[in-house]
Structure 1
């Protein structure tokens, strides 16, 4: 699967009509569409085409099924990375085959806005979304978040030795895997989280690079990719990854085997944003989909897939809430303040990683 929680950086979002209603005149592009018009036209279109939103990712299948049963809107998806999604928006142009909606990392969303690829639409839930997770004009807004955590395989490392902080991770005896920093955003956010915990930010990644340089010099930095297959085979001792990946993988393999911890001295939280293609073949269905994703039911659907909803005022059923780590575990969380700056830094990070970290020995 292309979308493994790695945002991929290669370029410089119980709802029935009554719950979703009230979205009228919320289009930031100045559209006069009201909610009744959106629903009517979306039903007429009868279809929504997504990219990078496969059934098995973040439980999207339940949202697509809801749109089908409640609004008679069929769905198809082609799994892609964030960069591939934006390239598809560009290459398809304004044709009957143009995708309608995609799910991209917040770090590349400013690029999509700058390149004029998106349609703005705020929905009635706009005020529920924190400022760090949305564009002021409504071109993008995150539907769910991810935070960097540690995953310890207790078949390889004693549970009592599982790191609970970056400080403990640095002094451990086990190998640490974070993935490919040159191409994978999950790995890049891991570097940022380490930087933040050691006094850095998206504008100063040096503390993070220095941190992993020390681990490399100890011969503890593993080059094994942080996939579910490698975890299952026992090829990873401690991995650094998104919490929703960690929880999902642990559930599939056997949750008792893995210990998942949020670093107490700092983690990074970012998210995915559901963006509407400016040239969407089914623009009303795309707007309806975004509104549904941000509704209470849409947010609960995402939580069922281990993704933490962006709207904190949604009451999750106990059975769903238990799928996520307790909010109290996230003691020190950093949000990227400047995604444009962060995107610029990631373009340089791959080479810096190879030179400073991998070349440390």
Structure 2
């Protein structure tokens, strides 16, 4: 599947030359400088999200002298930016070096001066529409919104957002995040609105809020932040989340209980996440080395093992470097052919509508 039409970017030769100063070191020089710093501080990277377990492992195998300091694995995108703001003058272990946030949060962080530019050595193979032309943020992976369903408790598996309004799903449906702060949950609300025919952006955000108001009013919505534990325990038998998280949960639970993953028939919303380096990173060279690892063939394939489509996916496939068994393990390509990639303007408009309207429209306080 191609990533096109969802984000407009114009890259001039002058801008590329200016930003190119951010990648002056050779990889060996960068590794030496990073090892001298001795630490990399990450935030909001659960090891079962996108196979970050494998990403961390392969990074440590290559650079054993760099200690990984993992902050708040379950932080939201908004909390990641707040962690940078709160630690601008702090070079201690609570200051993140790198962030992995929803698409809308990349330009916001740039506008606030919270991130710094860096172009990885594989920069040219990242689609132009998926990166900031000056190198401040760059797409890392994408997936589509789906339902993870505990089929021990749900006999009639819902196939669409419209199905979720059936009374048989009373006390069953949850989001995998707080829609006032979590990118995943914010876009789940937009997906619900798009399923009702609204255009991506503010209209879909507002329509999605109405959908969740109905879901909440009828008692189908469970106001807790759902995950693999709540799904397995039966607290939230139906979880709306990215397909890669749902598929990883299915594999982790290994049939206990059985989990079915559904891409809803009434909408296929794709979501892109982006990487960036904190402008106040205590370990800037380790941060750059981390980015080199993430955007190498090896790092991209590790994400793919976690069912996330890495941003360099087309390049990897065209060069024949993706193991066939890994391609065979992915969901059918047809599930992604109708995916809609919202523009950054649409993502921002939806975020504003959802974050500002959730409490007044839906009125459900989503908690851990």
User: For 1:78, which of 52, 60, 71 is the aligned residue?
Assistant: 71
Alpha-carbon distance in structure 2 between the residues aligned to 1:262 and 1:51: 29
Aligned to 1:93: 88
Q: Is the 8 A contact 2:209 2:357 kept in 1?
A: no
* Comparing 28-37 and 277-286, the one that deviates more: 28-37
Aligned to 1:326: 332
| CA positional deviation for 1:89 | 1.9
SS at match of 1:86: helix
Alpha-carbon distance in structure 2 between the residues aligned to 1:194 and 1:280: 37
Aligned to 1:253: 253
SS at match of 1:330: helix
SS at match of 1:121: coil
Question: Is the aligned partner of 1:58 residue 2:59?
Answer: no
Question: Is the aligned partner of 1:177 residue 2:156?
Answer: no
Relative to structure 1, the CA distance from residue 353 to residue 187 in structure 2 (aligned partners, 3 Å threshold; closer, same or farther) is farther
Alpha-carbon distance in structure 1 between the residues aligned to 2:130 and 2:62: 28
Alpha-carbon distance in structure 1 between the residues aligned to 2:192 and 2:129: 20
Question: Is the aligned partner of 1:49 residue 2:55?
Answer: no
SS at match of 1:333: coil
| CA positional deviation for 1:128 | 3.4
Aligned to 1:311: 312
SS at match of 1:173: helix
Aligned to 2:299: 298
Deviations 1:142-200 (A, max 9, x none): 21223210222221222xx3222334444573235133434443332111001122223
Aligned to 1:267: 268
* Comparing 78-87 and 244-253, the one that deviates more: 78-87
Alpha-carbon distance in structure 1 between the residues aligned to 2:181 and 2:87: 25
Relative to structure 1, the CA distance from residue 264 to residue 73 in structure 2 (aligned partners, 3 Å threshold; closer, same or farther) is farther
Alpha-carbon distance in structure 1 between the residues aligned to 2:19 and 2:61: 28
Q: Which runs of 5+ in 1 are unaligned?
A: 1-24
SS at match of 2:312: coil
Give 1:149-188 correspondences, 5 Å limit.
149-158=146-155, 161-171=156-166, 173-175=168-170, 176-179=172-175, 180-188=178-186
Relative to structure 1, the CA distance from residue 343 to residue 134 in structure 2 (aligned partners, 3 Å threshold; closer, same or farther) is farther
* Comparing 324-333 and 313-322, the one that deviates more: 313-322
Relative to structure 1, the CA distance from residue 354 to residue 311 in structure 2 (aligned partners, 3 Å threshold; closer, same or farther) is same
Alpha-carbon distance in structure 1 between the residues aligned to 2:116 and 2:26: 16
SS at match of 2:355: helix
Aligned to 1:191: 189
| CA positional deviation for 1:214 | 4.1
Aligned to 1:347: 355
| CA positional deviation for 1:132 | 5.1
| CA positional deviation for 1:73 | 4.4
Aligned residues: 331
| CA positional deviation for 1:125 | 3.0
Alpha-carbon distance in structure 1 between the residues aligned to 2:163 and 2:151: 16
Q: Which runs of 5+ in 2 are unaligned?
A: 1-15
**CA RMSD after TM alignment:** 2.9
Deviations 1:244-281 (A, max 9, x none): 22112222223471211111221222233221011222
User: For 2:21, which of 30, 39, 45 is the aligned residue?
Assistant: 30
Normalising by the residue count of structure 1, what TM-score does the alignment of the two structures yield?
0.79
Aligned to 2:12: none
* Comparing 246-255 and 293-302, the one that deviates more: 246-255
Normalising by the residue count of structure 2, what TM-score does the alignment of the two structures yield?
0.78
